Structures are given as C-alpha cells and as structure tokens.
Amino acid sequence: MARIVVTGGAGFLGSHLCHRLLDRGDEVVCLDNLITGSITNIEDLFGQPGFSFVELDVSTFIHVPGDVDAVLHFASPASPIDFERIPIQILKVGSLGTHNALGLAKAKDAKFFLASTSEVYGDPLVHPQPETYWGNVNPIGPRGVYDEAKRFAEAMTMAYHRHHGLDVRIVRIFNTYGTSMRPDDGRSMSNFIVQAIKGQDITVYGDGSQTRSFCYVDDEVRGFLALLDSEVVGPVNIGNPNEYTILQLAETVIDVTGSSSKITFEPLPVDDPTQRKPDITLASTKLGWAPEIDLRTGIERTTEYFRSVLAAG
C-alpha cells in the first residue's frame, strides 16, 4: 500500500484515478479547488478508509502532513471552453502548481507523475505523433495558455529529474471520454452526446474532416497506472490510435443514441488541430498497454451516464 497525493482529484480523470488507486489498496489524498472538478465525482469515497479530501488551489501552496510515496499532478482545466474562460488560472496551475507539486514530491522523497497532454504537439505536422516529435504550437493563440502551460510543466519536471534526481513519470494524454465528464465540458464527445440526448442539432466545427483519436477513460487510467508502476520516465503517449473524423464521431453518436438530431456546421475555432493520432509503440512495448474498449461501447456507456446526469437536473 502506498500513500498517494492526487492533485485535481475531483476532476474527470483525477476522480477515476482516485477510485482505481483505492481499489488496489492505496491510500489517497485528493486535492482540488473545485474550479472544474466536482464533489459529485468523489462523494462515494468519503468515509472510505484511506481516502481524504482537501479543497486547495495548488497554484498557491501545497502542504500534506505525513509520508507521501507519490504525487500525481492532474490539476488543470482541460476543456476548450476553459481556455477563454479562465486562461490565467490554467497558466498558473501549469507553472506554479507544477512547481509546488514537484516541491512536495522532492520534500517527501516521492515519485512525481505529470499529466501532460497531446496538446503539446499542437497542430501536428507529423502523423501519427510519436513522443520524439517536438510539436507545432502557436504560443500566443487562445489554445496556447493550455499548450504552453503543459510544455512548461514537462520542462520543469525534467529539470527536477536531472538536477535533483527526482523520480518522475510523464504521460501525454490524448482525447479521453467517459463517465464523470461535465455535460457542459465543451469537447466534441460531450457536446455531441448531450445534444443527441436532447434532440438538438449537433454542432460540428469546420467541415468535420479534422480527426481525433478517442480513448475511453477506463483504458486511459489503466495506462496511467502501468506507467506509474514502471521504470519508464517518459513522456509516454497514452491514447487510442483508432482515428476518426469529427463528422464520423457525430454520425456514430446519432446512431448509438438513436437520436433524431441533425448535423449543423459552424466556423472552425482558431488553431483547432487538423489531425491527432498517437503513436503508442512506446506504451505497447515498454508498458504492455493497449486500449481495449471500442468507440461504440464507450459511447454507449457515456450516453448512459449523461442520461442519468441530465435526468437528475
């Protein structure tokens, strides 16, 4: 059993991670300022042995009494709607928050795990994207607040690794979906499913030819734990290499949900990547990891979740 701190532990991915860590017998200290996370995601964990929650903005400071074996830094808004709504907070949690989390890991002689993103590749000129690709990012565009925050976080993590000898892991997360997503998340998957359930027009930006690779959350978290327990520093891509156009996703959501929704088209947002697909050779060979849940099954599970959330108001 290990004692593990999860920043952003009430968020979409962080909450799933807290559940999995507890299931395998670890003790979890969940930190979250609830700016995008929700107590609803972790309320079933309150009262469980080994779980504690602290409402905290990790951009200001982090103090955790007692021994800590690992610090998993998942705190950061990650949805396109957040890039315009709270850009300064995103930059702060990627810089100051990462610095504070690294400082905690160093003080506790703990392993540090950084949740980075495929956004570090920007609008990629290499396809699929291997970890060796340096990316094509617009640092001053609206998406730059998230992209550059994560690129800085990776640089700081490796500086602590090289300068202080800190044991670190870096994961680059590709488009992930599943239960515990916010209905108003602003990402294509949540937008499409919620619109389909409500019978609204499904809004596709651009002509829908841009591609993404969608990984169901259970597969994603399984990859996190494989990396955490390995000796691989990373960065390591964890994502589903099956690539779909956004238009294909919209059509699949309509089919799975049985919706009468029509597809409408809106202008493409600034710097929206034209393609995104992970090269998972490293994860496959070094971690023995590969996704198992197909897109239709994942959409069915996510739709069931959103139906219950919307029904509850």
CATH number for the region 178-212+242-276+293-311 comes to 3.90.25.10
Give the span between the Cα atoms of 185 and 14, in whole angstroms: 15
Encoded tokens for 49:
């042995």
Whether the pLDDT of residue 313 is over 90: the answer is: no
pLDDT per position as a tens digit, 189-209: 999 999 999 999 999 999 999
For residue 66, the number of C-alpha atoms closer than 13 Å in the C-beta half-sphere is: 11
Is 146 part of the annotated catalytic residue set?
yes
Note the pLDDT of residue 274: 92
Whether the pLDDT of residue 1 is over 90: the answer is: no
Homologous superfamily of the 3-176+215-238 domain (CATH): NAD(P)-binding Rossmann-like Domain (3.40.50.720)
Where do the domains of the chain lie? 3-176+215-238, 178-212+242-276+293-311
Q: Mean of the pLDDT values across residues 256-271?
A: 94
Mean pLDDT value across the chain: 97
For helices 295-311 and 246-257, give the axis angle rounded to 10 degrees. Answer: 60
Other residues' Cβ atoms within 10 Å of the Cβ of residue 297: 12
> Active site residue: 121, 133, 146, 244, which one?
146
Model pTM above 0.85: yes
Contact 66, 105 (CB under 8 A): no
Give percent of the chain with pLDDT exceeding 90: 96
Give the span between the Cα atoms of 202 and 193, in whole angstroms: 9
Please indicate whether the domains covering 3-176+215-238 and 178-212+242-276+293-311 agree at the CATH topology level: no
Note the pLDDT of residue 256: 97
